[in-house]
Amino acid sequence: MFDSDKVFVIAEAGVNHDGDLSKALQLVDVAADSGADAVKFQTFLPGECTGRHAFKTDYMKAGCPEDESRYELSCRLALPFESFVTLKQRCEEKGLLFLSTPDGNKSLNFLVDKLHVPAIKIASTEVTNIPFLQSIASQKLPIIFSTGLSTLGEVEAGLSAMRGMTKAPIVVLHCTTEYPAPFDEINLRAMQTMARAFQVPVGFSDHSIGSAAAIAAVALGAKVIEKHFTLSRAGGGPDHQASMEPDELKTYISSIRCTELLLGNGIKQPTAAEERNRQSVRRSVVAAHTIPKGHSLTREMLTCKRPGTGISPAHIDTLVGFTLNRELQPDEVLTWEDIRK
């Protein structure tokens, strides 16, 4: 899944369906139309990860009814397990990979045993939840590990717990857990730090506005990009305001694909377009003035001008002392066939 040179793009639907299966299906369609490789949801039972005494973050307060508790919000956004069967079927029809983040062991077992997900995405909130990380690793599936909220040491401990139980690939995503994440708190170099420290493929879970952060992340080596999207930022949920609308998501993914093309293969050599242009724009050794046949060449007889169809200027000093086989007119290109020792 992550071995290709192509960046793996996850369209993060999350809970932007607002607990409505019809909206969730529309989100799958949008993700497919945008060119994403996968669409990801969040699978949880009411109360599985959010207790009755949990409190809202500031971004949740901004996007949700004031009198709705964090627990009530969680219950409202939870789709029943059978809805994910329908969503996976829609993904398969659209040629899209289905992914979902489990928020507890029951959700994990459902995703693995019933839906047979190809990989498990771990939310940033679980980095220090070592028992749950070990349960996930025991499934022996590829893992996408988000690391928002975390220190390098916490990420190392989480990775160590999982590596002790699986040899499956683990991709580590850098993330700033704020919605939207301000540019001065993105710190994309931390992604490279984790790549060096843990010798793992890395990526970026993008909570920022626009596509600048994702473009920079790809340029810095991200193998996976994850981005929240929504049908409309006017929705009544915690993530809508920091999510992209359909047209924006399509442009975002197009920017990522463009960045991949711009990066190229790293080999410094003329491109196909440059090969077509090279002879026209490079210079050759030419006659500085009329040179009669049989003359011995001196440096003063020669100069360098376009086109680049003859002897390279790199060899101009080597030509001194050669005898000319034919007369050359001013600016006429010199070739190796025109001279002899």
pLDDT in tens, the chain (341 residues): 666 789 999 999 999 999 999 999 999 999 999 999 999 999 998 877 777 767 767 766 666 677 778 787 788 889 999 999 999 999 999 999 999 999 999 999 999 999 999 999 999 999 999 999 999 999 999 999 999 999 999 999 999 999 999 999 999 999 999 999 999 999 999 999 999 999 999 999 999 999 999 999 999 999 999 999 999 998 878 888 889 999 999 999 999 999 999 999 999 999 999 999 999 999 999 999 999 999 999 999 999 999 999 999 999 999 999 999 999 999 999 999 999 99
The CATH class for the domain spanning 8-263 reads alpha beta
Task: Show Cβ contacts of residue 184 under 8 Å, excluding neighbours closer than 6 positions.
Answer: none
Q: Are strands 202-206 and 224-228 parallel, antiparallel or unpaired?
A: parallel
Nearest CA to 175 out of 104, 128, 125 is that of 125
Report the CATH fold assignment for 272-340. Type Iii Antifreeze Protein Isoform Hplc 12 (3.90.1210)
Nearest to 218 by CA among 253, 182, 170: 253
Domain ranges in the chain are 8-263, 272-340
Distance of CA 171 to the CA centre of its chain: 12
